Amino acid sequence: MDFDLSDEQRLLRDTIRSFVDAEIRPVAREWEESGRYPHEIVAIMAEMGLFGLLVPEEFGGMAADMVSLAVVFEEISRGWMGIAGIIGSHSLSCWMIAQFGTAEQKTAYLPALASGERRTGIGLTEPGAGSDLQGIATTARRDGDHYVVTGRKTWITNARHADPLPVLVKTDSSARPAHRGMSVLLVDPASPGFEVLRDLPKLGYRGPETCELVLDDVRVPATSLLGGTEGRGLQQVLAALEKGRINIAARAVGVAQEAYDQALRYAGQREAFGQKISGFQAVQLKLADMAMKLQAARLLTYWAASQADAGRRADLESGLAKVYASEVAQECAFTAMQVHGGYGYSKEFTVERLYRDAPLMVIGEGTNDILRTVIAESLISRRGMIG
């Protein structure tokens, strides 16, 4: 088994790392604290082609493999995890449109999405439905050659910039099981009745806007039904989320790597009782544990990505990677804070932001508790086989 990145993947990693060091790190602390939207960074990412990561080449995208996607999100998250969120849900939706959209939908949307001229997100979560997507209440009633959409969505990244916004709806509320009546509509945010109500205040994950929105009798052309066939929405979304969990796992690896780097650097500089604290066994044990878990999380994430690249179903693998890597990120962020002592609690040091950002990966893209049940069910169906 080859654990090395290819020459192309290493070049991509080095390019993203240089971009992060030059454009993101110098402003991350100030902009994150002030809540300033990173328009300038978004523009550079568009020039670099990062909005087209998962868009096929025929539509102007990079058609990146999933390991390359993981590399990009890991490197960006080392500098500022919030920036990764801007292209995270965008890439997820681009993949979904490319995979399931009609020829007309691909032609209409993908070129502009790849260039960054348009951006997108995905409207799944509702005030009363998070991980249980079959419990959504947003409905789409057919009215001639339109659907009339009514409902609310929340925790939507890129909501103020998404054009279009894929929205999961119930086109047949009476269907049993419920997923047979669920569809995805590509909603134009300029439609009457579509309103972004507010930006949600957050502990971390600052930079991208995360919003609550309402759809009040929004008329959506029937041609905007993703794939052109009703009842396939949940399957389309779950397939996309499988890829999305690799993205989340990679972000977690980036946060964990940055926490480790900060802790190692500080331990080699800080002196106490007449010596560098890196000489204390208690600190050494923390650094060793961080390094072991970090590399295990990275290998698990790249393995899950390679399974997806091989064309295999990777729901189990992406779930394993997302759960483990997110919990490693949370643990490493806290351990780095401990190594820093009182300074770890200060906004003047990076570890404080990492500590606030890490919990998102535990909660987002399916909570870890829910994913553990998904993992267990997959193990049982596979008779325990992994790999």
Q: Describe the crossing of helices 103-115 and 81-100 by its angle, rounded to 10 degrees.
A: 160
Instruction: Provide the 10 A C-beta neighbour count for residue 374.
Output: 18
Q: Single out the residue of 210, 295, 241 nearest to residue 35, CA to CA.
A: 210
Cα separation, 217 vs 150, in Å, equals 5
Beta strands in the chain (DSSP E): 139-143, 146-157, 165-170, 182-187, 194-199, 210-221, 271-272, 275-276
Report the C-alpha gap between 59 and 111 in whole angstroms: 5
Residue 209 is a catalytic residue: no
Q: What is the number of other CB atoms lying within 10 angstroms of the CB of residue 44?
A: 15
Out of 75, 230, 327, 365, pick the active-site residue.
365
Residue with tokens 């990505």: 305
Distance CA 64, CA 87 (A): 14
Beta bridge partners, 186, equal: 166
In whole angstroms, give the CA distance from residue 304 to residue 245: 9
- DSSP per-residue letters across 187-236: E-TTSTTEEEEEEPP-SS--SS-EEEEEEEEEEEEGGGBGGG-TT-HHHH
The backbone torsions φ and ψ at residue 248, rounded to the nearest 5 degrees and listed phi first, read -65, -45
Q: What are phi and psi of 190, to 5 degrees?
A: -85, 0
Q: Positive or negative, the Cα torsion across 101, 105, 110, 113?
A: negative
Catalytic machinery residues: 365
